[in-house]
Amino acid sequence: MTALTSHQGALAGIKVLDLSRVLAGPWCTQTLADLGADVVKIERPIVGDDTRHWGPPFLHDAQGQATGQAAYFACCNRNKRSVTIDMATPDGQALLRRMALEADVLVENFKVGGLKAYGLDYASISALNPRLVYCSVTGFGQDGPYARRAGYDLMVQAMSGMMSITGLGDDMPGGGPQRVGVALTDTFTGMYAATAILAALHARQASGRGQHIDMALLDVGMAILANQSTGYLNSGNVPQRQGNTHPSLAPYQDFPTADGSMLLAIGNDGQFARFCQAVGRPQWSADPRWATNVERVRHRASLIPAMEEVTRQRTTAAWIALFEDKAVPCGPINDIAQAFADPQVQARGLALKLPRDAQDGIAEIGSVASPMRLSEHPPVLRHAPPALGEHTDEVLLELGLDSVEIARLRAASVL
């Protein structure tokens, strides 16, 4: 079991009011929470965040039985405190405005204009707290013809062109557009949002004022096309699906082995020459068709079959062992269980078990460690992903309410 930590993170003292749901916004706020911010997640009474019900798979209790609480929620809500408030009620709106007065950051992912009716939009809240950094996460941004549309990761993967370059080509068996196996635009939007928030907090030190951050999934989806988009913008050539091969590098793909497959990621001519020497084909790196990366890309059709004849002669493990000390990038193609069993993953402590005591039968929750390794202010582990409303009384008492007022609000179904 992983012990929860008591040290403070780099963002200790920063208060975040989290009005976001599902993945992009919660991914952002979990990033801030891992860095030490106090993140209070506001959820609907009884129902909570939609992802609490997105299962299977479900969390298990101490006896190993599924609980009905979805594991999806746990991926992006650790280190937060859960408070249930019905923002559709006047009392709920008043509570949230009071909390926003004390917050440094507010993150929301409602439809454009959706919070104005509650007096929780940027214009209303920033008038009360000019130092507030207010981050809105939507599908398409605060302006433009699609601004009021709902946006989802899968939709953006399709619209941005991501699916058009993912999967096998139409001329290959099983060809056709494919989504990436995780909600890539959601998670990247969360990381971009966290980065923008940190920039706004830094700017506030000089100006004394917060600002509005407009994050859109479609903007991020276009931005993370990276070399594929700049290739198109500068050449006019529309990238196509090509399976696991790379448009600008060769050999840079999967190869068959005696017992499965492996991945070779050869990114320069020196690596290719070392590969050729290791496999007993030194003449390949002198062949004018294959001597340089540009020529290898042009003559991929002759190079790859020749390499496949060789790679089928040994097991994946044997190839990895052979290339280990030769600076030839080579690795297995793991499933997720194999990835967590990998010695390097284990050495880095990437699988966590976070203890939880919410009186709901769940003793611990599995989680993946933050990849942010700060030498002086490492990520904190203060809270397992919370049960719905687990910290409502605690947070409202800190806000200055007394137990009588909390009981009244609960009786009125505000909490």
* DSSP string for 213-266: EEEEHHHHHHHTTTHHHHHHHHH-PPP---TT--SS-SSEEEEEETTEEEEEE-
Residues 207 and 259 grouped into a single domain: no
Domain count, the chain: 2
Q: What is the pLDDT, as a whole number, of residue 138? A: 97
SS3 70: strand
- Residues 254, 261 contacting (CB under 8 angstroms): yes
Centre a 10 Å sphere on the Cβ of residue 352 and count the other Cβ atoms it contains: 17
Q: What is the pLDDT, as a whole number, of residue 218? A: 98
Is 356 a member of any domain? yes
Is 105 a member of any domain? yes
Residues 358 and 285 grouped into a single domain: no
The CA distance from 296 to 252, in Å, is 10
The list of the chain residues with pLDDT below 50 reads none
Is 1 a member of any domain? no
Q: What is the pLDDT, as a whole number, of residue 357? A: 87
Residues 307 and 408 grouped into a single domain: no
Is 247 a member of any domain? no
- Residues 365, 354 contacting (CB under 8 angstroms): yes
Residues 26, 381, 185: CA angle, nearest 5 degrees: 25
Residues 33 and 115 grouped into a single domain: yes
Here the tokens at position 252 are 């840079």
Q: What is the pLDDT, as a whole number, of residue 1? A: 56
User: Which one of 334, 351, 379 terminates a domain?
Assistant: 334
Centre a 10 Å sphere on the Cβ of residue 12 and count the other Cβ atoms it contains: 13
The CA distance from 18 to 120, in Å, is 12
- Residues 16, 107 contacting (CB under 8 angstroms): yes
In this structure, the strands spanning 364-368 and 351-355 are: antiparallel
Is 313 a member of any domain? yes
Say which CATH number the domain at 287 has.
3.30.1540.10
User: Which one of 306, 334, 362 terminates a domain?
Assistant: 334
Provide the annotated active-site residues: 186
Residues 353 and 308 grouped into a single domain: no
Residues 207 and 353 grouped into a single domain: yes
Domain enclosing residue 259, as ranges: 252-334
Across-strand partners of 332?
262
Residues 397 and 292 grouped into a single domain: no
Residue 339, CB-side half-sphere exposure with 13 Å CA sphere: 7
- Residues 36, 380 contacting (CB under 8 angstroms): yes
Residues 22 and 163 grouped into a single domain: yes
Say which CATH number the domain at 158 has.
3.40.50.10540
Residues 40 and 74 grouped into a single domain: yes
Q: What is the pLDDT, as a whole number, of residue 188? A: 98
Is 318 a member of any domain? yes
Is 53 a member of any domain? yes
Place of tokens 């062949």: 287
Residue 31, CB-side half-sphere exposure with 13 Å CA sphere: 21
**pLDDT by residue (tens digit) across 372-398?**
999 999 999 999 999 999 999 999 999
User: Which one of 267, 302, 334 terminates a domain?
Assistant: 334
Number of helical (H) and strand (E) elements in the chain, helices listed first: 16, 13
